[in-house]
Structure 1
């Protein structure tokens, strides 16, 4: 299966601090590449995998499930953990859900958690139809490209595959249930104007985790795909500051 230009994974081996970077649902590594490259420039070892079913066709994504996506990021985490003294996990949107699951799974072995508009259980009434609708139609309109900055585009699908979306919803339930297991230092970035993931997801996360070292950063100039939006530079700087502080570099 041919990979869409821009959807290629990114790997960089360098220092003893590793950073795992996770992109979102129907998106590609393109949305996180600038951030991953900044981490590499700072001397961190980096893994930014392409999630199964992403960066090809939405029909291929509809053949995958959340366990496939998690297996990919968990394998990337294992690569970093094998060579690095500390590993941080970073995620956007569903990538934030996956990053949270890595932190829940590996707990004290994860040095810190960086989340950008992460997705957890949502109360959107439209989602109630997905379990039945997935058996009737294969896809609905796309959710990618929620960016405030003019002239910037996200590489993603034109359709949202419903069987894959239903699987993601099941992952939300498990990850949200286990949020009290999060004890690592956290920096959370969230956009008040997000047309994909409501701010209530970030509020839910903050209300349930057990971490004592928590930094909450509001992105007033960005929509959902904030890593490609007006606050991208701010996110990169604050992420580097957070990792440097927590890793005691």
Structure 2
């Protein structure tokens, strides 16, 4: 059964518009495939402290709480929801950014390739292909199996759950057993949703040159889900004038809750703040350049 157009369920997780130097900036946060806001760690809190308005989207047949394993989603529906939100935010805020984790980062790239309204994108453990050291060798055959019509199966999360920190990994394991969802996302990803994500990755690999927003990429050199090659492909393929890469050496895929989570949160907020400041300076330069010169009263 194919999905109909997705429905956006939640908007801002902030109740009031903040005050301060960055009050006119909104940041959309995108968790991973079949995940939740738990994955984003302290990033929402720090962005709000920086006076940014934080927008957390729950997307039909993308977010864990809204996943129907019997529905075959279309990644373009996910993209359309985010694009629509960007357009509406631009009516109220001067600038808008997107920060995504894992497949949320890939979704952010898809949106950035189709929209010129974004100031910046922050890509945390972006995935263009599942090629990390823990990915089973038969993973590439899953698309073949799916396209042959075998679709009623799920990919189950297993050790190390994207986390190097042993204590955090233990908590995640307990949460998955108890609630079916944890800081790493859901306990399993339905085949239909995984296939939609693979199709989105294929699109993004071809569309990287269309990305022009300021871009920050944070990736672990020991990512068990997506090898460092994913981040390198993005850095080399995008057309952004402002781009920054941060490599981590003591965590796995879910970098927002692992050993170097503070570095991830701080780098994210600092990059977005710098992008806002650079944008303001650029607008000031453009204003001065286009202001009519004073009339010479000596004549």
- Same fold, judged at TM 0.5 (above): yes
Structure 2 matches for 1:68-147, cutoff 5 A? 68-107=77-116, 109-122=117-130, 126-134=138-146, 135-136=149-150, 137-142=152-157, 145-147=161-163
CA offsets, 1:218-239, max 9 Å, x none?
Answer: 1112210001111111111112
Q: Is the 8 A contact 1:120 1:176 kept in 2?
A: yes
* Worse overlay, 165-174 or 127-136: 127-136
Q: Cα 1:247–1:158, aligned 2, differ >3 Å: closer, same or farther?
A: same
Match of residue 11, structure 1, among 10, 13, 17: 13
Match of residue 166, structure 2, among 150, 157, 164: 150
Give the 3-state SS of the residue equivalent to 2:115 in structure 1.
helix
Q: Is the 8 A contact 1:45 1:80 kept in 2?
A: no
Give the 3-state SS of the residue equivalent to 2:222 in structure 1.
coil
Task: Please tell me whether residue 239 in structure 1 is matched to residue 251 in structure 2.
Answer: no
1:56 to partner: Cα distance: 2.9
Q: Is the 8 A contact 2:26 2:93 kept in 1?
A: yes
Give the unaligned 5+ runs of structure 1: 1-7
Task: Count how many residue pairs are aligned between Structure 1 and Structure 2.
Answer: 241
Larger radius of gyration: 2
TM-score, reference length from structure 2: 0.73
CA offsets, 1:175-220, max 9 Å, x none?
Answer: 1101011222211100011111221111111121112321110111
Q: Is the 8 A contact 1:10 1:36 kept in 2?
A: no
1:61 to partner: Cα distance: 7.5
Give the unaligned 5+ runs of structure 2: 1-9, 173-182, 281-299
